Amino acid sequence: MNDAPEAADSAGIPDDLLSRAGAMAALARDKAPESERARGLPADLVEALAAAGLFRSLLPASVGGLECDPMTALHSMRIVGRADASAGWCVMIGATAGFSAAWLDPAVARRIHADPATVTGGVFAPMGRAVVDGDGLVVDGQWAWFSGHGHCRWLAGGCVLVQDGEPCLDASGRPRTRMVFFPIDAAESLDGWHVAGLSGTGSGVVRVRALRVPWTQSVSLTDEPPREAGPLYRMPVFGLLAQGIAAVMLGNARGAVDDLIELAGAKRPQGSRRTLADRAATQAEVARAIAMLDAAEAGCDRAVEELWRSLRAGAEISLEQRARLRGAATWATRTAADVARAMYDLAGGSSVFLDHPLQRRFRDAHVGTQHMMVGPASYELAGRVMMQLPADTTLL
């Protein structure tokens, strides 16, 4: 298929990274069946994505990153996701993990990211314990959903901070948490990724036992300010992650429309003289799907652009802006799943075979909706903020 539409969707955005993302699209699409079978991205695809800088879009320039504006970074994820959702998801995870380097001690951040081929990954959920031990931490933990860890060199896992045998509590009485960074060689990878969709992300289980790390290899994304001064690092961490998920899922849905259009031009449903494309119902459903995606993309772009203008002007962003960022991402992700399902339905029996792209698009879309950053509870949180009701906005 022609890759031109992927570049056209990003018109008006600085195109250096986007051109590289477009160049990777054909490879990601070709490798998609292999990624799904292997339950992880092939090494040559990871190397190509890394060489194109796609994992470094949100990494600080001070440690060798591109430090792109958020729109450029998100559109690059959308482009790769249109080719293959698993590849797009891994690009999103690598980029957002690199974003957290802005909170690290600069010397540690430079050491982790010194090699341009380095890819990092992380799980924020505090599934580990980090026991304070002098000037370091002793970490025990097991993290599920660790996307792309098989091709990462460094990982970061969320931990509850423990001292003198008890969890450390913040002013409101909640356990304090930290993201602890460690090399992949210090961890054990467990085979825990047998799933319906996004199989190529390799989002299995990572475990560490009694691992000692220096305090400087840990950060709190919720309680500490970033060390980097650029406006990018005042973006809401979890809102940016949610927008990254939406970008990949919007790309996947665009790819589903592409796949359906390609199929419809040749397929004649049983008992019909007309191709699927000649049917009025098909034409109407495709037009509706494209309109839905146009609206979802516009909503995300508007929320990101409005917030970015505020940050570049030095203004403080409001809780309402943060709520709109999450709400737009959640709606876009779920709308994208509706589109993928509609294209799957239109394809008829062709889409039930495991080797058909629309089968994978459908499954990938409905796994993407299960991420907590774009789950139904996101609407409740955003709604409470917009209605000016009391809300815990720590993860907003």
- 8 Cβ partners below 8 Å, 6+ apart? none
Residue 237: partners with Cβ closer than 8 Å, 6 or more residues away: 99, 100, 221, 222
Cβ atoms < 10 Å from Cβ of 359: 18
Residue 131 falls inside a structural domain: yes
The answer as to whether 392 is a domain residue is no
- Predicted confidence at residue 271, as pLDDT, reads 57
Specify whether 148 is located in the same domain as 267.
Answer: no
Does the residue 393 lie in any domain?
no
H/E stretch holding 146 reads strand 136-146
The domain boundary residue, chosen from 219, 243, 268: 219
Q: Are residues 374 and 250 in the same domain?
A: yes
The pLDDT of residue 15: 57
Task: Quickly count: other Cβ atoms within 10 Å of residue 189's Cβ.
Answer: 16
298 and 344 belong to one structural domain = yes
For the chain, the maximum distance between any two Cα atoms, rounded to a whole number of angstroms, is 77
Examine the domain organization and report whether 292 and 379 are in the same domain.
Answer: yes
Q: Are residues 253 and 209 in the same domain?
A: no
Q: Name the residue type at position 270.
A: Q
CA distance 60 to 30: 31
In a domain, 225, yes or no: no
pLDDT at 266: 80
Q: What CATH number has the domain bearing residue 283?
A: 1.20.140.10
Does one domain contain both 315 and 377? yes
Domain CATH number, residue 47 = 1.10.540.10
Q: Which helix (H) or strand (E) holds 219?
A: strand 218-219
Closest CA to 382 of 391, 371, 394, 372: 391
Per-residue pLDDT tens listing for the chain (396 residues): 344 334 333 333 445 999 999 999 999 999 999 999 999 999 999 999 999 999 999 999 999 999 999 999 999 999 999 999 999 999 999 999 999 999 999 999 999 999 999 999 999 999 999 999 999 999 999 999 999 999 999 999 999 999 999 999 998 899 999 999 999 999 999 988 999 999 999 999 999 999 999 999 999 999 999 999 999 999 999 999 999 999 999 999 999 999 999 999 887 766 567 899 999 999 999 999 999 999 999 999 999 999 999 999 999 999 999 999 999 999 999 999 999 999 999 999 999 999 999 999 999 999 999 999 999 999 999 999 999 999 999 999
Number of other CB atoms surrounding residue 286 within 10 Å:
19
Q: Give me the number of domains the chain comprises.
A: 3
Q: CATH number for the domain including 181?
A: 2.40.110.10
380 part of a folded domain: yes
In a domain, 394, yes or no: no
Q: Which residue range is the domain that position 136 belongs to?
A: 120-219
Say how far apart CA 231 and CA 72 lie, in whole Å: 15
Could you give the CA distance from residue 155 to residue 226 in angstroms, rounded to a whole number? Answer: 19
Tell me, yes or no, whether 293 and 322 share the same domain.
yes
The SS3 of residue 155 is strand
Q: To 10 degrees, the CA torsion angle through 381, 382, 383, 384?
A: 50
Determine the Cα–Cα distance for residues 79 and 264; give it in Å rounded to an integer: 23
Q: 352 and 252, same structural domain?
A: yes
- Bridging pattern class, strands 204-214 and 166-167: unpaired
Closest by CA to 366, choosing from 189, 229, 228, 199, is 199
Q: Specify if 108 maps to a domain.
A: no
For residue 255, which of 89, 90, 80, 94 has the smallest C-alpha distance? 80
Q: How far apart are CA 148 and CA 69, in angstroms?
A: 24
Show which of 71, 103, 135 is a domain's final residue: 103
Which pLDDT score is estimated for 240? 98
Residue 172 is predicted with a pLDDT of 86
208: closest CA among 155, 281, 273? 155
| Integer Cα distance of 254 and 239 in angstroms | 22
Domain shared by 263 and 308, yes or no: yes
211 plus 257 within the same structural domain: no
Residue 109 lies in a domain: no
Asked if residue 271 and residue 188 are part of one domain, the reply reads: no
Query: Last residue of some domain: 219, 253, 287?
Result: 219
| 255 shares its domain with 357 | yes
pLDDT at 272: 66
